[in-house]
Amino acid sequence: MSPEEAKAQAAMFRAIGPHPNVVSFFGTVPIPASGWSDAFVGLVLEYCSGGCIASETKVSHEELKQSALDIASALDRVHSVNVLHRDIKPENILVSKNGTYKLADFGIACRGISDQFCGTPGCIAPEVWNGDGLSTDMSDCFSFGVVLAEIAPARNALIEQLMDWRSEERPMPQMVIHAIKSESDSESDPFLESESEPYQDSDSDLMA
């Protein structure tokens, strides 16, 4: 990542401080330019050998309970120092060797409430997606609820509603379309011409 991006993430980790349910941050490492890459800066982070919970189709009731407690503890610390994660999703919840769940990836985190549209479609809170409100700590909590619903071993009415939101096709938010148009030199941009088409949710799409 760029030095500016590394500096921003390092600042977030330092603000949060050590916490058993947040991936540990050890520092940054400058990577010199090579024949195939420009110079960049890497973050030195804790290795979680259990991977992310996105690789798990379902978890047991006990694992669901433990993941909820662990990440709720992480969010409590994060929010207590006025940091918003803004991209809570299965890929950003890692599992350590001893089974502890840890919150990772503060690449689009910010200090305080935010009016910027960012996050992963399907996990973004409705008020943020629809442009009706700001990103707050409650937006993070909604995204966390979507994650729990996805890995839950059983279904109830609330979980079904969350999963409907997770999988629903919906038009791209107008605020995003307008922002793209304002930066575009051409009305014929094929990306803009498709604005009326439903936006297909994808865990791999990160919108910032």
| Residue 20 Rama label (left phi>0; alpha psi -120 to 50; beta) | alpha
For 96, residues 6+ apart whose C-beta sits below 8 A from its C-beta are 46, 48, 49, 50, 102
Q: Convert the pLDDT of each residue in 37-93 to its tens digit.
A: 777 888 999 999 999 987 556 778 888 899 999 999 999 999 999 999 999 999 999
Average pLDDT over the chain, rounded to an integer: 78
Q: Convert the pLDDT of each residue in 139-167 to its tens digit.
A: 999 899 888 888 887 666 666 766 676 66
Q: Convert the pLDDT of each residue in 126-142 to its tens digit.
A: 888 877 667 889 999 98
pLDDT score, position 122: 81
Cβ count near 3 (within 10 Å)? 12
Residue 201 pLDDT class (50, 70, 90 cuts) = very low
pLDDT score, position 3: 85
Alpha helices in 60-120 (DSSP H): 61-80
Q: Which residue has the higher pLDDT, 167 or 207?
A: 167
87 an active-site residue? yes
Place of tokens 């793209």: 180
pLDDT score, position 89: 92
HSE (CB half, 13 Å, CA atoms) of 148? 21
pTM: 0.72
> Which residue out of 87, 105, 137, 201 is catalytically annotated?
87
> Domains in the chain, please, with CATH?
48-199 (1.10.510.10)
